[in-house]
Amino acid sequence: MIPVTKPFLPSQQVYQHYLEGIWKRQWLTNMGPLANDLEMRLKDHLNLNHLLFVTNGTVAIQMAIKALELRGEIITTPFSFVATTSSIVWENCHPVFVDIDKDSLNIDAEKIEAAITDKTSAILATHVYGNPCDVEKIEKIAQRHHLKVIYDAAHAFGVEINGKSIFEFGDISTCSLHATKLYHSTEGGLIVTKDPDLLKKLAYIRNFGFDGPENFAELGINGKNSEFHAAMGLANLKYIDSIHKKRKELTKEYDEKLRNLKAVRPVWHKHSENNYSYYPVIFESEELMLKIIEHLKLHEIFTRRYFYPSLSHSLPYVKSDSYLPVTEDIAKRVLCLPLYYDLTLEEVDMISRLMLRIQNN
């Protein structure tokens, strides 16, 4: 069987080394030494000044909304994982959807201003598949209308624009370290801001709002992560270069073998390099895509319609009258193919041959 994704696992000996320390210290959670070490190493790796390791990417978005004290409407994308929208609703704000750009699949920055009202407090945009949004244009719009900006960078670990970490854009950026991501800590997330005061506030929020053993500085939640998850993060960080190299090789193989497929790939940001988080293809027609999905299933090869359906009309807790033609069209025709470290070039070749066989017959 070939799944759409498979978690990378480090050497058992490397992971066991960290577990031995946990057993000796008996410090299992509450930002222990491994969690703190992981934060420091990630800051070095990503060239960041500030970063917090949290429970997961969803909690990171919720913390961001809370820390920025957002109210009313938040402009966002309908083409993202459900957590982007559900976090807005969870924090008692109202998502306002803006259509996506047909090439990048990110929120169309040209259409944001038309959605701004006197109730708008922020823009929450997703770097879809790790592909950077038009951050410069979004920043100008936000400044002009005095709005906050949060980036859901769940897929964008290691991505840069002109040598600058993608996490440095916006007021706050969040990342997922879930097991399905190219770099993971089993469960986990990151929250990044350039503002030291905002970082301090987020650190309070992460730990119930505690400011010392008997004082409280903020309304908080339990957004901390465990030493076991930090151990996985530390172990996997040792392999990040080889993970990136392998996924790049697999992506290039797909590109070569599928050059005659009746489909296109999203257009990547011109000042950024792909981090190879996913391999999405946008088919000429939904009909062809569905035939290929079923044929691959017969060979125990599994793909994912990611993201389908559009969030604008599929969530029972969100009422939206907006018709977003680009999103509706793309969501019906986009498919993510298997991509993970243990996938082989031979398996990519087989997947590609099976897809082309259905198309050409």
pLDDT, tens digit, 9 for 90 and up, residues 256-288: 999 999 999 999 999 999 999 999 999 999 999
Whole-angstrom Cα distance, residue 119 to residue 199? 26
Whole-angstrom Cα distance, residue 244 to residue 88? 32
Whole-angstrom Cα distance, residue 287 to residue 284? 9
pLDDT band at 319 (very low <50, low <70, confident <90, very high): confident
Give me the pLDDT at residue 361, please.
Answer: 86
Give me the pLDDT at residue 320, please.
Answer: 81
Give me the pLDDT at residue 321, please.
Answer: 80
> Average of pLDDT values for 19-30?
97
Contact between 189 and 174 (Cβ < 8 Å): yes
Q: What three-state secondary structure class fits 61?
A: helix
> Average of pLDDT values for 324-331?
97
> Average of pLDDT values for 37-57?
98
Give me the pLDDT at residue 173, please.
Answer: 98
Q: What three-state secondary structure class fits 160?
A: strand
Give me the pLDDT at residue 97, please.
Answer: 97
> Average of pLDDT values for 306-328?
92
pTM of this structure: 0.96
Give the 3-state secondary structure of 207-256. Answer: ECCECCCCCECCCCCECCCCHHHHHHHHHHHCCHHHHHHHHHHHHHHHHH
Whole-angstrom Cα distance, residue 280 to residue 334? 7
pLDDT, tens digit, 9 for 90 and up, residues 99-144: 999 999 999 999 999 999 999 999 999 999 999 999 999 999 999 9
Residue 7: is the preceding peptide bond cis (ω within 30°)?
A: no
pLDDT, tens digit, 9 for 90 and up, residues 148-178: 999 999 999 999 999 999 999 999 999 999 9
Give me the pLDDT at residue 313, please.
Answer: 87
Give the number of C-alpha atoms closer than 13 A to the C-alpha of residue 129, restricted to the C-beta side: 26
Q: What three-state secondary structure class fits 173?
A: strand
